[in-house]
Amino acid sequence: MKFKLQLILIAVACFIQPVLAQNNMTDFKALIAKDDTAGAFKLLQNWQKTGTNDPDFYIAFYNYYAKKAITEVLSLQKDQPEGKSFQISDSTGKTVAYLGGGRLAYNFAYVDKGFSYINTGIDKFPSRLDMRFGKVYLLGAIENYKTFSEEIIKTVTYGQTIGFKWVWSNGKPLDDPENYMLGTIQDYVLQLYNAGEQNMNYIRDISLAILKYKPDHVVSLSDLSISYIAKKEYSHALEALLKAEKLSPHDYVVLNNIAYCYQQQGNKPDAIKYYQLVKQYGDDEAKVEADKKLAELNK
């Protein structure tokens, strides 16, 4: 069962360069779609003779090694997995298990080769946000969250030197590049959060990096508070949250987290006050949860 590298190659589909580069990329995508990695590698070798100043060359080589690196490991499972699988039956014909797609495995020698190309591309074309986020994506896939976070911080740090005026494919400026960057980073922060509490320091570091240049960014203030709440550092969390409340007084997520911190500190009056604000400004689900908390506090 071959694993098709869908998500990374979506980015490749956007790149349009002058005619020669466009043809190279078109041919590369066609070969990859056919799983003809030998043909793709030959094309890349020829492209290398003239394409080292072409951003697409580095993106293509990165995708080539990313595809080579990823395989899907089959595993026995009691329940039928999504996608293709094989039934395993006993002597009576009864299905007893399924052999299907399980976890993804990575050949890190190929991963490192891919990173070497995208790193060169980033060095040559540092304002290309697509290259930076393409690298971050794969780091997240292999769960290298330390480097994942460091690359996000590098992106923010470099971005402020160009006023966050990022470009995407063909060097075309992004519409609203700053908010696009911040929105995508928030998706990465959510990935860190979902991957476990051991990543809270990374969330804190990313949030502080953004706040260094965007001190009034409410989402980063909220993220920063979460990193402190996870460690039960409620005073630090409240410092960030109360600033966020001043900037966005009707943000019920911020209000709810303020209430929670006060509740954990044993400050019942302020906890009640903020859960009541959640009831005023929150969505239906938040209001139901606030009612439960208020019932507890009013016992």
As given in the structure block, the two tokens for residue 8 are: 């990374």
The angle formed by the CA atoms of residues 128, 126 and 176, to the nearest 5 degrees, is 45
Instruction: Count the domains in the chain.
Output: 3
Tell which of 214, 244, 272 closes a domain: 214
208 found inside a domain: yes
How confident is residue 5, by pLDDT bands cut at 50, 70 and 90?
Answer: very low
The residue segments making up the domain with residue 281 are: 233-299
pLDDT band at 55 (very low <50, low <70, confident <90, very high): very high
Backbone region of residue 286 per phi and psi (left: phi > 0; alpha: psi in -120 to 50; beta: other values): alpha
Q: Are residues 115 and 133 in the same domain?
A: no
Q: Higher pLDDT residue, 299 or 214?
A: 214
Q: What pLDDT, on a 0 to 100 scale, did the predictor assign at position 15?
A: 38
Determine what percent of the chain is predicted with pLDDT higher than 90.
75
Band of residue 64 on the pLDDT scale cut at 50, 70, 90: very high
Whether residue 142 is contained in a domain is answered as yes
Q: Which of 214, 244, 262 is the last residue of a domain?
A: 214
Residue 284 exposure: Cα atoms within 13 Å on the Cβ side: 0
Q: Which two tokens stand for residue 136?
A: 């971050």
User: What is the average pLDDT score of the chain?
Assistant: 88
pLDDT at 19: 43
pLDDT at residue 70, rounded to an integer: 85
Per-residue pLDDT, 50: 87
Mark whether 42 and 106 lie in a shared domain.
Answer: yes
Question: Same domain for 140 and 56?
Answer: no
Q: Residue 68: what residue type?
A: K
Same domain, 118 and 11: yes
Band (299; pLDDT cuts 50, 70, 90)? confident
Dist CA 3 CA 71 (whole Å):
6
Say if residue 99 is in the same domain as residue 136.
no
Cβ partners under 8 Å of residue 54, min gap 6: 17, 21, 24, 47
Report the pLDDT averaged over residues 267-289.
Answer: 96
Q: Cα separation of 166 and 175, whole Å?
A: 9
210 and 116 in a single domain? The answer is no
User: Nearest-5° angle of CA 257, CA 260, CA 266?
Assistant: 145
Q: Of 61, 90, 125, which one is at a domain's C-terminal end?
A: 125
Model confidence, pTM = 0.83
Kindly state whether residues 99 and 131 are assigned to the same domain: no
CATH number at residue 260: 1.25.40.10
The answer on 121 and 132 residing in a single domain is no
Cα 118 to Cα 38, 55, 59, 145, distances in angstroms? 20, 9, 6, 18
Least confidently predicted of 18-22, 110-114, 139-143, 251-255: 18-22
Lowest mean pLDDT among 2-16, 134-148, 268-282, 284-298: 2-16
Task: Give start and end residues of each alpha helix (H) in the chain.
Answer: 6-12, 19-33, 37-48, 55-69, 108-124, 129-141, 145-161, 177-194, 200-213, 218-229, 234-247, 252-265, 268-281, 284-297
Model confidence pLDDT, tens digit, residues 93-134 = 666 564 555 667 889 899 999 999 999 999 999 999 999 999
